Amino acid sequence: MKNYNVGLVGVGAVGTEMIKVLKERNFPCGKVQVFASRERDEQILGETYHVLKADENSFKGMDIVLFAGKTDVAINLKDAVVKAGAKMIDNSRAFRQDPTVPLVVPQVNAEDLDWNNGVIANPNCTTAIMLEAVAPLHKAKGLKRVIASTYQAASGAGAPGLAELEQQIREYVEGKPLTVSAFQHQLTYNLIPHIDKFDETNWYTLEELKMKNEAAKMLHIPDLKLSCTCVRVPIARAHSESLNLEFEEPITPEEAREILSKAEGVRVVDDPLNGGYPMPLDATAKYDVLAGRIRQDISRDDGKGLEMFVSGDQLLRGAALNAVEIAEHLIKRGLV
């Protein structure tokens, strides 16, 4: 099997997880080169990597470059990656709504990789987790409308968010004033219905609008009706979502469980009478999205509505794993 030279731009929480996933999945790596804003030696998962400064001359000889950094970094370096002949898989929001860039979760729309021009976008983690469970049902019954409430972990704000939650817990136990800087308010013993900036034309946050726009693009439903409220919760890792789904055709909970039991990337956990339902603790560090609490929407009388609850590790399933799976599918489809 051919080996592929892999670049990684960004060594934060997602970048570290990408290196871990490459190793776990025995990705056919030749050279692995890490890039960041400055040159240095960095300990990553117990190994020392010589990190190079990322610039327009960094990517010669690379086959695939995973971006786990900021949006402006991805925008500034995109042309350099493409010029070097590498495939860029970007985890930022820089290109997600660019009509010339495929936005991909392989289990949902791998076929969109075929029209890439050197850049592939990784969706927002919350969208990715939702669509892992929703796309198989859409393919069977035709999705029409989604009402979602999300419960998003501190680590969704990166390493600073997770560190602040842990610091606040220590400070609370010690009776000290709580540090508040990564989030708008104290997160410990609290919920914050505010993730990303507000759009002052409709008062949705950009995180909420991402879910609508990205789902519509990936499912190829331009007029998809989707409304959501995104909430930050004092959980270390793994996002959860409550989903109310409306379909074009009637669907029963039994049908939904059967469809999802055969879906790659999903594990049905739906035994509520015995405490079996998705929880972020159980989804942490797991590849699959957990799906459960599947039930008929009793506010409807046409059989076309379902309620469902899902949990998924946003650093892994919603980011690092998805990026590596995109790379695997590029190889599988002969695109790199």
Q: Which two tokens stand for residue 177?
A: 């004033």
The CB density around residue 302, as the number of other CB atoms within 10 Å, is: 10
Q: What is the mean pLDDT of residues 177-195?
A: 97
Q: Tell me which H or E stretch contains 78.
A: helix 71-83
Mean confidence (pLDDT) of the chain: 97
pLDDT above 70: percentage of residues in the chain: 100
Tens digits of residue pLDDT in 93-149: 999 999 999 999 999 999 999 999 999 999 999 999 999 999 999 999 999 999 999
Of the candidate CATH numbers 3.30.360.10, 2.60.40.10, 3.40.50.300, 3.30.460.10, the domain formed by 127-314 belongs to 3.30.360.10
Tens digits of residue pLDDT in 223-261: 999 999 999 999 999 999 999 999 999 999 999 999 999
Distance CA 33, CA 54 (A): 10
- Return the domain boundaries, the chain: 4-123+319-332, 127-314
Active site residue 125: yes
- Of 138, 228, 230, 239, which one is the catalytic site residue? 239
Asked if residue 330 lies in contact with residue 297, where contact means CB atoms within 8 angstroms, the answer is: no
Please state the pTM of the whole predicted model.
Answer: 0.95
Tens digits of residue pLDDT in 282-330: 999 999 999 999 999 999 999 999 999 999 999 999 999 999 999 999 9
> Side chain identity at 288, as an amino acid letter?
D
Burial of 96-106, coded b for 16+ CB within 10 Å and e otherwise, reads: beeeebbbbbb
Active site residue 239: yes
Asked if residue 4 lies in contact with residue 60, where contact means CB atoms within 8 angstroms, the answer is: no
Q: Tell me which H or E stretch contains 305.
A: strand 305-312
Asked if residue 269 lies in contact with residue 285, where contact means CB atoms within 8 angstroms, the answer is: no
The label of the residue with tokens 């099997």 reads: 1
- Of 125, 138, 230, 329, which one is the catalytic site residue? 125
Q: Tell me which H or E stretch contains 125.
A: helix 125-141
CATH class of the domain comprising 4-123+319-332 = alpha beta
Asked if residue 43 lies in contact with residue 102, where contact means CB atoms within 8 angstroms, the answer is: no
pLDDT above 90: percentage of residues in the chain: 97
The angle at the Cα of 79, spanning 8 to 219, to the nearest 5 degrees, equals 75
The string of DSSP letters for 6-65 reads: EEEE--SHHHHHHHHHHHHTT--EEEEEEEESS-EEEEETTEEEEEEEP-TTS-TT-SEE
